Amino acid sequence: MDNKRIITILGSTGSIGTQALQVIEQMGNAFQVGFLSAHNNIKLLAKQIQKFKPIGVVVKNETDIAAIKGLVDTDCKFLYGEKGLIEAASYEKNDIVLVALVGFSGVLPTLSAIEHCKTICLANKETLVSAGSIVIPKAKKNDCKIIAVDSEHNAILQCLVGEEKSYVEKIILTASGGPFLNTSFESNENLSLANALRHPRWTMGSKITIDSATMMNKGFEIIEAKWLFDLEPEKIDVLIHPQSIIHSLVQFVDGSLKAQLGNPDMRIPISYALNFPKRYEFDFQRLDLTEISKLEFFKPDLKKFRCLALAYEAMNTGGNACTIINAANEIAVHFFLQNKIQFLDIAKFIEIALNKINIIPNPSLDDVIKTDLETRKFTEKLIN
């Protein structure tokens, strides 16, 4: 027990959280689970509690605690709400905090983990998109590691091991293109919610799947990459790669390219992040290059995928602009998932918010929180 690392997983019932627990299970006695958290999936959380015996759990509301207690036989600690997530993230015995929450909810728990000098495995794009200018300087000040879990950023991390930053000419993030890569955006006829949720390569939560369909997901990854790897926007490119075999590339000043390849299996980047800089032996399916008939690459159509263009615009604007597009996107996607707006409306409402909400050049954390709230209220009112 003494040699086990303590890992807290915020968002344990989501796609990343459940796969992380699969990785931990395969590693035998390497980890002890600290805290687990769930938003709504109480039944799955109960099963995770029974299996992994965490030190504590975090649920959405205080009333959920009684529901959990009725499903499990445990004496673990129960927390709830945002305060509960922050307390779980700062648990003194944590070695690693895996942040797999959805949306802006990841910001404050991540900052709390940083303040307590915990290693962070970050699977929440919105934290750096909304508050990268605050999170990264604080992490550097506290000498806190932030390790990327996203397959693209994890691939870049692997390609950069042993390399000098001055040798990097640019990085290239690959994108599957999502379910609408070959679909015309001339009308909403084929852009239904059901079709948007049919991702051709990855199995993910509904919000991130829609973000993939609009390519806002890739826009967020560009912003994330700027902060994670301390790069100027002009050094970050995107290529459509429908096969999702090459997860990203680094181009160096001598013309060399390094690429990280693998099957589209999120357990691979999760395992690398949890064990970084070492590797652990797993029985994940190996990539058979002889079975690959072709690898395709295309430049993204920024007119078609307007959300990707808006992400570039917000990144170049700076300040709280990325906070605005993140908050507006969360609200617009929420309404689309309820079939209350059309697919093409998502980008429209984000653009209006970006043009209407006041830009603050050097926002404080308080400014970021206020901008997020203001944008949500503005976008919701706009849609209604």
Chain CA centroid to CA 222, Å: 12
Give a yes or no: residue 219 inside a domain. no
d(CA 247, CA 150): 10
Order of all β-strands in the sheet with 168-175: 236-240, 168-175, 246-252, 257-261
Give a yes or no: residue 255 inside a domain. no
Q: Would strands 96-99 and 5-10 be described as parallel, antiparallel, or unpaired? A: parallel
Q: Is 67 helix (H, G, I), strand (E, B) or coil?
A: helix
Burial of 294 per CB tally in 10 Å (0-12, 13-18, 19+): exposed
70 and 188 both lie in a single domain: no
d(CA 342, CA 362): 34
DSSP 171: E
60 and 202 both lie in a single domain: no
Q: Which amino acid is at 352?
A: I
The boundaries of the domain holding residue 91 are 5-148
d(CA 20, CA 47): 15
198 and 131 both lie in a single domain: no
Q: Tokens 């949890």 correspond to what residue?
A: 274
34 and 117 both lie in a single domain: yes
Residue 47 corresponds to which tokens in the numbers above?
A: 């099963």
pTM: 0.92
Domain boundary among 125, 148, 171: 148
18 and 137 both lie in a single domain: yes
φ, ψ of residue 209 to 5 degrees: the values are -65, -40
Give a yes or no: residue 59 inside a domain. yes
Domain boundary among 127, 148, 169: 148
Q: Provide the pLDDT for residue 189.
A: 76
52 and 188 both lie in a single domain: no
pLDDT tier at 1 (50, 70, 90 boundaries)? very low
- Segment 318-340, tens digit of pLDDT: 999 999 999 999 999 999 999 99
Domain boundary among 148, 168, 191: 148
- Segment 92-147, tens digit of pLDDT: 999 999 999 988 999 999 999 999 999 999 999 999 999 999 999 999 999 999 99
- Give me the CATH number covering residue 384: 1.10.1740.10
13 and 131 both lie in a single domain: yes
Give a yes or no: residue 223 inside a domain. no
Number of domains in the chain: 2
